[in-house]
């Protein structure tokens, strides 16, 4: 199916979820174990700031020993929301080093803007909508539009991570931006991040999978993510009422197998994907795939998980018009 150029030329993946988040110094207010701002609740459930105790007996993860603050005789490290970098769908960017998505907050922790694809999107009052000017380098044109930051994690109670969908509004008169675009994203506090190699047991996370197949929005409220600690394989399973049942397995050799099943026969059909595709490989003429996962909690106790899955099938993006199907799915869940 035909798809406009906007998703690939403008919304290109940086591949920088997580990254290095430096702790911040708490200034001009008394530190508390967790801070939030009321107006931010329309955007995300992640706190504007988290404090990690430096006492090793607390079982918290400490990434650095700098910027220590003290409160009631105990030392904490401060991590702020504007240090969190989120990863968005549309993989295989020619420029994977650019910052992808992050918040801008004021001195009180209130979200005032987003950094999105090297542009600043200013928040519209106390909503989850933002004004942004988007540049299309292919035709040297800028369009003023708005986008919405839609968090699904806040609906299922995630605290240290977020996942959801950025929805960019299309504009009449701009062929490259005439349709709404929906881009899944994931991210979280690195200070609460846990590696699967540190898991004590196999574990399953249950939650929500939501994304898009080109223009079709798909959702499963009972999706699961299973982690086998011995083989270090991760499997995302979801059944979409208006699309296929899917199973995506990330192997420990950095290959990904994407399997579809079910009776779907609508306009968004795809061929059975090739097994064991190389994760995050550059696109070939037919397929490209990416599977990114992050886990959050305390040492050896994962509590939350988010996944970003990205897949192309067809004639991959290389001009103003392409004939391909793009699947991007975000998942968020809690440990069972």
Identify the pLDDT of residue 62: 40
Residue 56 sits in the same domain as residue 107: yes
Task: DSSP letter for 169, please.
Answer: P
Residue 178 sits in the same domain as residue 269: no
Residue 139 sits in the same domain as residue 270: no
Separation of alpha carbons 160 and 333, rounded Å: 12
175 pLDDT band, cuts 50/70/90, is low
| Distant-in-sequence, close-in-space partners of 47: CB < 8 Å, separation ≥ 6 | 34, 35, 36, 81, 159
The yes-or-no verdict on residue 257 having pLDDT over 50 is: yes
Among residues 23, 29, 28, 72, the alpha carbon closest in space to that of 51 is found at 23
Residue 48 sits in the same domain as residue 176: yes
Helix (H, G, I), strand (E, B) or coil at 57: helix
Burial class (CB in 10 A: 0-12, 13-18, 19+), 218: buried
Separation of alpha carbons 179 and 168, rounded Å: 9
Residue that wins the pLDDT comparison between 60 and 253: 253
Is 15 part of a structural domain of the chain? no
Dihedral angle, C-alpha 229, 246, 220, 92, nearest 10 °:
80
Identify the pLDDT of residue 68: 52
As a whole number, the mean pLDDT across the chain is: 79
Is 150 part of a structural domain of the chain? yes
Q: Which of 143, 171, 187 is the last residue of a domain?
A: 187
User: For the residues 100-119, what does the mean pLDDT come to?
Assistant: 88
User: For the residues 25-49, what does the mean pLDDT come to?
Assistant: 66
pTM: 0.82
Residue 205 sits in the same domain as residue 131: no
Is 3 part of a structural domain of the chain? no
Show the domain range for 137. 34-187
Is 6 part of a structural domain of the chain? no
Separation of alpha carbons 314 and 2, rounded Å: 10
Separation of alpha carbons 210 and 291, rounded Å: 15
Identify the pLDDT of residue 318: 54
User: For the residues 56-68, what does the mean pLDDT come to?
Assistant: 45
Residue 62 sits in the same domain as residue 165: yes
Identify the pLDDT of residue 7: 36
Residue 48 sits in the same domain as residue 178: yes
User: For the residues 291-303, what does the mean pLDDT come to?
Assistant: 88
Is 26 part of a structural domain of the chain? no
Residue 156 sits in the same domain as residue 235: no
Residue 226 sits in the same domain as residue 325: yes
Is 1 part of a structural domain of the chain? no
Separation of alpha carbons 315 and 93, rounded Å: 16
Residue that wins the pLDDT comparison between 56 and 271: 271
CATH number of 304's domain? 2.40.160
The yes-or-no verdict on residue 193 having pLDDT over 50 is: yes
Give percent above pLDDT 70 in the chain: 74
Residue 199 sits in the same domain as residue 164: no
Residue 114 sits in the same domain as residue 241: no
328 phi, psi to nearest 5 deg = -135, 130
Greatest mean pLDDT range, 129-143, 161-175, 252-266: 252-266
332 pLDDT band, cuts 50/70/90, is very high
Q: Half-sphere exposure (CA, 13 Å, Cβ side) for 324?
A: 25
Separation of alpha carbons 45 and 149, rounded Å: 12
Identify the pLDDT of residue 305: 97
The yes-or-no verdict on residue 65 having pLDDT over 60 is: no
Separation of alpha carbons 121 and 129, rounded Å: 9
Question: What are the start-end ranges of the H helices in the chain?
Answer: 6-9, 153-156
CB atoms within 10 A of CB 208: 20
Task: Give the count of domains, the chain.
Answer: 2
Residue 242 sits in the same domain as residue 294: yes
């Amino acid at each position: 199916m035909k798809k406009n150029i906007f998703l690939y030329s403008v919304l290109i993946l940086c591949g920088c979820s997580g990254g290095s988040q430096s702790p911040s110094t708490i200034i001009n207010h008394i530190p508390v174990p967790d801070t939030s701002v009321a107006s931010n609740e329309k955007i995300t459930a992640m706190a504007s700031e988290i404090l990690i105790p430096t006492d090793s007996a607390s079982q918290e993860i400490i990434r650095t020993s700098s910027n220590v603050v003290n409160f009631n005789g105990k030392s904490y490290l401060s991590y702020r929301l504007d240090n969190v970098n989120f990863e968005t769908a549309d993989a295989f960017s020619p420029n994977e080093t650019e910052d992808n998505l992050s918040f801008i907050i004021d001195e009180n922790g209130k979200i005032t803007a987003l950094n999105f694809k090297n542009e600043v999107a200013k928040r519209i009052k106390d909503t989850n909508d933002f004004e942004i000017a988007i540049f299309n380098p292919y035709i040297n044109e800028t369009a003023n539009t708005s986008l919405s930051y839609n968090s699904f994690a806040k609906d299922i109670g995630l605290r240290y991570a977020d996942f959801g969908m950025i929805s960019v509004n299309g504009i009449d008169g701009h062929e490259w931006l005439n349709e709404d675009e929906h881009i899944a994203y994931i991210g979280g506090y690195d200070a609460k991040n846990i590696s699967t190699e540190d898991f004590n047991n196999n574990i399953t996370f249950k939650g929500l999978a939501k994304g898009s197949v080109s223009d079709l929005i798909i959702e499963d409220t009972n999706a699961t993510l299973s982690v086998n600690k011995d083989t270090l394989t991760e499997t995302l399973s979801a059944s979409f009422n208006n699309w296929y049942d899917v199973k995506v397995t990330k192997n420990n050799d950095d290959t990904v197998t994407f399997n579809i099943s079910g009776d779907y026969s609508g306009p968004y059909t795809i061929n059975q994907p090739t097994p064991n595709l190389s994760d995050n490989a550059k696109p070939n003429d037919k397929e490209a795939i990416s599977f990114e996962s992050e886990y959050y909690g305390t040492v050896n106790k994962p509590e939350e998980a988010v996944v970003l899955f990205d897949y192309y099938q067809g004639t991959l993006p290389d001009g103003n018009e392409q004939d391909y199907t793009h699947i991007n799915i975000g998942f968020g869940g809690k440990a069972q």
